[in-house]
Homo-oligomer: A and B are copies of this chain.
Amino acid sequence: MSLVVVGSVAYDGVETPHGKVDRMLGGAATYVGLAAAYFAPVKIVAVVGDDFAQEDVDLLASRRIDLDGLERVAGGKTFFWAGVYSADMNDRTTLRTDLNVFADFQPKLPDAYRTAPYLFLGNIQPELQRNVRSQMPGVQFTGGDTMNYWINDFRAELLATLAQWDFLLINDSEARLLSGEHNLLRAAAKIQGMGPRTLIVKRGEYGAILFHEGEHFIAPGYLLEDVFDPTGAGDSFAGGFMGYLAGQGIKPAAGKANVAELRRAVIYGSVMGSFCCENFGVDRFRTLTRDEIETRFRELQNCTSF
């Protein structure tokens, strides 16, 4: 079943200890879409300027990614972000953020998108996220991402948005900020009380924790020999998670019936996040095969079972 992904499509400039790329395809919706398309058909909602290159359109279109919702603003420029990573790649410094056409992004869903059963809302203004949700009254599994800025300065809007979500996928520091609890078990309980019955807390290289129906699942991070560029790893995680659920047609509503599938979805998230780091930007997804994904899934099984 198909998955609608709303978020940024952008250009990034990235410097890591392994090298420097001045301008390459990036953005949350790009990473989520490319990762999810290995598992299910994807429909992207985003905005770009007329500087958006045909080769980047071609890459997305060559996968199961519908670009009818990719708005092009004539005379506008595509969102640009540049940053540099620390030597251990645990920190990054933003050098430049030019929102450009993304500053006025008003997501518009083509009619054919409105009946999709799965919706992933990337990190944009909570009110815009709510607006998109309201355009899909029949959606069956909705959720997304947010960030510190919305948690701190748009709390009321964010809470209204979360109240309508089935799941939330954020990192550990955001979970602590949103809940006001340092302890992750307490933080998760509070956040689930805000709406999302399914919560995934990402822990960077350490993996993620899934909270669902009063239980939790600790998912490992895959140990990589080389991390070339962590940009987009969290979004690729989201793509693997949502893509797997959509591909299998799983809607984790009430009950524990689908817990095993949700756990597998989190592992596919971890797998896709790890592949993302193996090359600059989206480059790893140019060559990655479904067989490699399955092999890594089994590797994670082998290195965690006891």
Asked, given contacts A203-B206, A206-B206, A220-B218, whether A225 binds B183 with beta carbons under 8 Å apart, the answer is: yes
In angstroms, how far is the closest chain B Cβ from the Cβ of A55? 33
The chain B residue with its CB closest to the CB of A176 is B88
Specify how many copies of this chain sit in the oligomer: 2
Chain A 225-243 interface 0/1 with B at a Cβ cutoff of 8 Å (1 = within):
1110000000000000000
Q: How many of chain A's residues have a CB under 8 angstroms from any CB in B?
A: 33
Cβ contact of A264, chosen from B203, B264, B306, cutoff 8 A:
B306
| Chain B hits for A303, CB < 8 A | 215-218
Tell me, in angstroms, the Cα distance from A225 to B87 when the chains sit together. Answer: 34
| Chain B hits for A183, CB < 8 A | 224-227
Please report which residues of chain A, range 187-203, place their CB below 8 angstroms from some CB of chain B when the two chains form the complex: 203
Is A184 among interface residues, defined by CB-CB distance under 8 A? yes
| Chain B hits for A209, CB < 8 A | 223
Is A301 among interface residues, defined by CB-CB distance under 8 A? yes
Please report which residues of chain A, range 149-190, place their CB below 8 angstroms from some CB of chain B when the two chains form the complex: 182-186
The chain B residue with its CB closest to the CB of A223 is B185
Tell me, in angstroms, the Cα distance from A185 to B96 when the chains sit together. Answer: 33
In this complex, which of A223, A227, A263 has the most chain B Cβ atoms within 10 angstroms of its Cβ?
A223
Is A267 among interface residues, defined by CB-CB distance under 8 A? yes
In angstroms, how far is the closest chain B Cβ from the Cβ of A270? 10
Tell me, in angstroms, the Cα distance from A87 to B225 when the chains sit together. Answer: 34
Q: Are A218 and B225 in contact (CB under 8 A)?
A: no
Is A260 among interface residues, defined by CB-CB distance under 8 A? yes
The chain B residue with its CB closest to the CB of A206 is B206
Tell me, in angstroms, the Cα distance from A203 to B182 when the chains sit together. Answer: 18
Q: Are A185 and B218 in contact (CB under 8 A)?
A: no
| Chain B hits for A223, CB < 8 A | 184-185, 209, 216, 218
Tell me, in angstroms, the Cα distance from A33 to B221 when the chains sit together. Answer: 32
| Chain B hits for A267, CB < 8 A | 306
| Chain B hits for A289, CB < 8 A | none
The chain B residue with its CB closest to the CB of A182 is B88
| Chain B hits for A306, CB < 8 A | 217, 219, 260, 263-264, 266-267, 301
Q: Are A185 and B264 in contact (CB under 8 A)?
A: no
A interface residue numbers (CB < 8 A to B)? 87-88, 182-186, 203, 206, 209, 215-221, 223-227, 260, 263-264, 266-267, 301-306
Rank and list the top 6 A-B pairs by shortest CB-CB distance, nearest first. A263-B306, A218-B220, A206-B206, A185-B225, A218-B304, A88-B182
